[in-house]
A and B are shown apart, each in its own frame.
Chain A
Amino acid sequence: MMTLASYLFISFALFAAGVAVIIARKNIIAMLLGIELMLNAAALNFAAYTRFLNNNYEGHIMSLFIIVIAAAEAAVGLAIVIRFFQIRDSIHVDDATQLQS
């Protein structure tokens, strides 16, 4: 029997995993993956809350929009990463240090 609590637990685990990836990994692609995890955690939350607590469809609409916008964000993010890679020959965040006073 899946209750609301188990969905919330999974989504919190996803969110924590996303944050951990962003903090721990130095690879930019991995960091973008971490951002996706965080967004998916939120989308799962919206779907779960709608399923268990509410009778309206606002949460479902919200999670659909999250999926679309996450895709758009990933597309632009990857384009910028490719540009960065062509210039610096690296996708390591530690190499992005030119702009520091």
Chain B
Amino acid sequence: MNRPPHWMLRILEWFCPPQLYEAIDGDLTEQFERDHLRFGRRIARLLLLLNVISFFRPGIVLRNKIGMRMINASMTENYLKVALRNIQKRKLYTLINAFGLSIGIAFCGLIYLYILDEASFDQWHSNKSLIYRVEERSFDTWQQDPAQPYRQSAWVQAALLEAMQSDLPEVQYATRFNADYHGIFRYQDKAFTEKITFVDSGFFRMFSFRVLNGNPEKFFHTTEEVILTPAIANKYFGDTDPVGKLVRVDCEGDRSYLVAGVIEAPPANSSLNFEILMPQQNRPHFASHVKQWGNFSTPTFVQLYPKATLQSLSLNMEKLTKKYMGDKLEKWRKESAIPVPEGAKMLEYRFTPLEEIHMKKEVSWYKVSDPQYSYILGAIAVLILVIACINYISLALTTSAARRTEVGIRKTVGAQGGQLLRQFAFESVMLAVISMILGIGLLALFLPYFNTFTGKGITWSGIAMPPFILAMLGISIIVGLIAGIYPALVLSGFRPSVVLKGTGTSRLKAGFTKPLVVLQFTASAILIICSVLMYRQMKYISTKDLGYHKDQILVIPTQTGWNVEADKMVERFRSRTLNDPDVISVAGTTTSFNQGFSRYGYKIKGEQKSAYVYGVDPEYIPTLGITVVQGRNFDRNIASDSLGVIVNEALVRDMKWSDPLNEHLNWREDTVGLGSPVIGVIRDYHFNSLESGIEPMFLSMNKKDVGYLTTMLVKIAPVGVSESVDKLKAAWKDVADDLPFDYTFLDEDVARQYQSYERWMKITGLATGFAVLISCLGLFGLSGINAVNRTKEIGIRKVMGASLSQIFVLLNRQFVWLSLIAFVFATPVSWMIIEKWFMTNFKFQNPVGWEVFAVSMGSGLFVALLAVSYHALQAALLNPAETLKHE
């Protein structure tokens, strides 16, 4: 027998009233069977679908709704009316509840948007399923972690691209992608330092970045071309068409380039980020990069032919590796400082689909998903929702006396338990949905801060509204149900005979609210303690003596590239500003702090050692105020100093030297000679961030080996910073002519190392604020009800001679106890969180003392007391004659 397609009838079932469904289904099936015999399956299916659709008409569908309304409509209307009346009657409680819930819901919405954005990374490329990132996986012969003998990286050899294109039949297009370069971009009188990305022509064929101007077919046919994003085009060319214009770009060599096109700027959810695109051939030292198979410096992407398989690709890739790298790998295997186990592959290549790059945390990339954000935000959202739900529950329970009569009457009239349950659930869900509307408003308010916090670019227009609203509604309904279910159970459980007899006291034995309040307070207390601890640590980090002076120092790049010109520039700038009283000193260095580092590894007596290296000049140590503990600073007049090194105490300890000034550091692994003589020892200072300890380090004037002075550190007098900067700018114009004047402040550079922690601290602080506010509002409401419940008791006590303070204590005692208990619970939890998550990032920690917990507890208690005092005072001040006159 030919059955009609099930899903079509399911559609019918969905909108058709149940009492009619069977007969209609039967009629349609019968028709289908007949059509099937006459016209065949295809036509019959089509006719059936048409028939099903034609049943979707008011005469059928409304019969459905009307049928339901007959049962429910009047009650729903009544529920709505009662709920609205309740909201109006108790505006304050509604406000407290809605406020808390809306913040919780707003946080949930943010997490939803965050996850959506994470999932949308790189999904808009039309060739996304064919594009792969090439990754190398090699045996780590260098300082390895025994648990992870292999190193994985997306940076491969620059030469690999051409080898792959000629040897691998699977590869259709390929491009390299180097985004870490900066160069001076010039057009007419405009010159600025810009971020430059080097790619190959395959880039435009593979990725779906829209070309706004120019012919992408011809891009990079010559190497003297440059492609701009609209913001850059606008910066240099304004409204005029940039295509065809000649510009000059200085990235290790000043040359002219033709603007060949304008390409859409990558969106925030793109793994590939760029502002200016130039052909790989112009990349500094490209010629030597493509010759070296030992230099892993170039991320590379390939696009496969649609029919190509990964298996054959991997197989061919293995052959390629052997062909180009075989000898080298054997050599590495033999020379490895760590014995390479038998069968371990020295090097192999792997391919990660473009769509998965963002989620692949184990391979580092410019932007990689960090699930920490979602965990933390999730935890905060849950905490705030818990606090808000508890507000709802405890307020609903304590005020339930007012609803008793209603429940009694409804039950006598014939309401069943289930119906009442539904009514109260309806009320809480309604409140949650109202809160949702508020929450969406709050979300819009939070969104910009959220974007800066997470580094995302989520905009309202980019959000698909129907699923967003649905998700928010879903969240609200779940929250409403969670908050409402317990009060609904309690309220609907009243026995009408007991309630309506009127013997029950108007006071509620709300035993269960106490543990709830404790739970709520614990949540707030955890947040309070966490943010206090974070604040202390950040304060410690920012005020800790780093061992050098970081204030009033400007960091100025010499802009000349990596060559001897850099050194000359420092000299010129120094002599130009020599007579300026506002400029205290000018020092040159290879790298300033938090602007990268260089680290050398070397073998001494068969032992693997490593040290950080900074190329400096004699002004470096005085400018930064570094203490020399033994020996002396570099001296320009002693020629041999260019070979000597000044080491830090950590290096002395590492080398186990007892008399460092008579030692040599053979860091270049000279086979003849002893290496560099040590001419001085400096006190340890924090050239790295406080996340890590002070490692062995030395300073050198050996420009040829450690690099040129590409950065100036200029110490200025502590008065009138902006005037000094203007003066420096003028001086720069004199010596550097058309080079752009870029500068940062050293203390800001250093502070930037802790930016992410700063942000964590801020968001925790914000969450704490909200949590405390919401729970205090809850306490405020609760204490109000409590005071009202005990009006008569207070009246009698006053008549009997109780003093104001006694009554005040009486009313507040329980809240104090509850919050104390909460802090006892919260202390170990928050200590664990901070110790295990936040503090592990820092090598240098502010020890956690008991006073922190005491302070947090004291302030928490104070705020709680503040919240409950209003009602307590009011109740205590009330004239007993007022309250007792009815007796």
Whether A associates with B in a native complex is no
